[in-house]
Structure 1
Amino acid sequence: MSKQSKPLPKFQSEAEERAFWESTGSDSTEYLDWRQAQSVVLPNLKPSTKTISLRLPQHLLDSIKAAANARDVPYQSLIKVWLQEKVEHH
């Protein structure tokens, strides 16, 4: 016995779709038959970041870690923010 699904509304934007699914009463099972769902494999999906090695003098790394600690952020995140700011400045 298959339940008739409600037609899925047309959305003008991703924000509108997000609001729809977040709203109360917007249960996806009313719109989709999840029994027909198939697993998807994305073998070529690559992370958006690249790992690098960077040699820094110990005193510089210590200073960066202290600055990150004062801001309550991970030191690698702080390095990325600083690098991005410098790139945008030039």
Structure 2
Amino acid sequence: MSKQTKQLPKFKNEAAERTFWETRGKDSTEFLDWKKAQRAVLPNLKPSTKTISLRLPQHLLDALKAAANARDVSYQSLIKVWLQEKLHTH
């Protein structure tokens, strides 16, 4: 038996939708019936990343690698997360 789900509101923009989902916690089942979900295949999806070269002092790179290792992530991923956080705080 499938439970009745609530209708999603119309969002003004992506930021409004993000805020909506962030305030719902991890449970989206009030709005989505995941038993009816189908796996999406996106064969033509292109990565939206760009490779750059960045020169860092060795001590800074060592500190980044140590911080990343403590979080069990790659140092490149940690740099991306920290840059994103810094950009969104200003």
User: Please, what TM-score do these two structures have when normalized by structure 2?
Assistant: 0.53
Determine whether 1:51 maps to 2:51: yes
CA separation in 2, counterparts of 1:62 and 1:87?
Answer: 23
- CA RMSD after TM alignment: 2.7
Count residues with an aligned counterpart: 59
Q: In the alignment, does 2:32 pair up with 1:20? A: no
Could you say which residue in structure 2 is the equivalent of 1:79?
A: 79
Amino acid corresponding to residue 77 of structure 1 in structure 2: S
Amino acid at match of 1:63: A
1:56-78 CA-to-partner distances (Å, cap 9, x unmatched) read 01110000000000111111110
Query: What's the TM-score, normalizing by structure 1?
Result: 0.53
1:29-76 CA-to-partner distances (Å, cap 9, x unmatched) read xxxxxxxxxxxx84xx53211111101011100000000001111111
Query: Which protein shows a greater Rg?
Result: 1
Report which structure shows greater RCO (CA 8 Å, sep ≥6). 2
**Runs of 5+ unmatched residues, structure 2:** 1-6, 9-31
Structure-2 change in CA distance of 1:19 and 1:80 (3 Å): same
> 1-side partners of 2:88 and 2:79: how far apart?
14
Moved over 3 A (4+): none
Higher helix share: 1
